[in-house]
Amino acid sequence: MSINLRTYFILILSAFVIIFTTVISFAINKESSQSFEKQIGHDLTEKAYQMANDLDHFMWSRYGEITILSNLKTLENQQNPEEINTLLNELKLNFPAYSWIGYTDSSGNVIASTDNILLGENISKRPVFKDALTETFIGDVHEAVLLAKLLPNPTGEDLKFVDISSPIFNEKNDFIGVLASHLSWEWAVEVQNTIIMPNQNKDEELEMFIVSKHDNTILLGPKDMIGQPLQLESVRKAQSGKNGWSLEKWSDEKNYLTGYALADGHLNYPGLEWTVIVRQPEEVAFFSVKELRNQVIIIGLFSVVVFGLIGWFLASIISNPLRQLAISAERLKNGEKTEIPIKRGIHDIETLSTSLRDLISALTKTKSELGKMELIAQLDKLTGLPNRLALDEYLKKLSIHSELDHYAVLYLDLDGFKNINDIHGHHHGDQLLKVVAEKMKGCIRSNEFICRLGGDEFVAIIKVQNTDSVETINMVGNRMIDSLNQPLNIEGTYVTVGCSIGAALWPVHDNESYQVLRYADKALYMSKEKGKNQITLFTKE
- Report pLDDT for 322: 59
Burial of 285 (0-12, 13-18, 19+ CB in 10 A): buried
Do 117 and 150 belong to one domain? yes
Query: What mean pLDDT is predicted for residues 194-203?
Result: 56
Do 281 and 296 belong to one domain? no
Is residue 383, in this structure, part of any structural domain at all?
no
Whole-number Cα distances in Å, 194 to 13, 35, 281, 285, 401: 57, 28, 21, 21, 37
Is residue 56, in this structure, part of any structural domain at all?
no
Residue where one domain finishes, among candidates 286, 313, 339: 286
Do 166 and 270 belong to one domain? no
Q: In terms of pLDDT, which residue wins out, 278 or 298?
A: 278
Is residue 335, in this structure, part of any structural domain at all?
yes
How many Å apart are CA 463 and CA 201, to the nearest integer? 39
Residue where one domain finishes, among candidates 241, 262, 286: 286
Do 495 and 406 belong to one domain? yes
Do 483 and 452 belong to one domain? yes
Q: DSSP character for 29? A: H
Is residue 382, in this structure, part of any structural domain at all?
no
How many Å apart are CA 50 and CA 60, to the nearest integer? 15
Into how many domains does the chain fold? 4
- Report pLDDT for 202: 47
Tens of pLDDT along 85-131?
998 999 888 888 888 899 999 999 999 999 898 899 999 999 999 99
Do 129 and 154 belong to one domain? yes
Question: DSSP readout, 104-148?
Answer: EETTSBEEEEGGGTTTT-B-TTSHHHHTTSSS-EEEEEEE-STTT
Is residue 53, in this structure, part of any structural domain at all?
no
Do 205 and 247 belong to one domain? yes
Region of poorest pLDDT, from 166-175, 222-231, 311-320, 326-335 = 311-320
Is residue 44, in this structure, part of any structural domain at all?
no
* pTM beyond 0.85: no
Do 158 and 273 belong to one domain? no
Residue where one domain finishes, among candidates 377, 409, 440: 377
Residue 403: which domain range?
388-537
- Report pLDDT for 499: 94
Conformation bin of residue 425: beta by default, left when phi > 0, alpha when psi is -120 to 50: left
Is residue 47, in this structure, part of any structural domain at all?
no
Is residue 123, in this structure, part of any structural domain at all?
yes
Confidence of residue 317 (pLDDT cuts 50, 70, 90): low
β partners of residue 257: 247, 280
User: Number of C-alpha atoms within 13 angstroms, CB side, residue 128?
Assistant: 28
Do 255 and 205 belong to one domain? yes
Do 396 and 484 belong to one domain? yes
How many Å apart are CA 419 and CA 423, to the nearest integer? 6
Do 404 and 499 belong to one domain? yes
Query: What mean pLDDT is predicted for residues 238-245?
Result: 90
In this model, does residue 59 exceed pLDDT 60?
Answer: yes
Do 416 and 510 belong to one domain? yes
> Which CATH number do you get for residue 194?
3.30.450.20
Closest by Cα among 190, 216, 350, 199 to 277: 216
Identity of residue 25: S
Region of poorest pLDDT, from 191-195, 236-240, 456-460 = 191-195
Residues 147 and 118 sit within 8 Å (Cβ to Cβ) = yes
Region of poorest pLDDT, from 67-76, 202-211, 232-241, 362-371 = 362-371
In this model, does residue 372 exceed pLDDT 80?
Answer: no
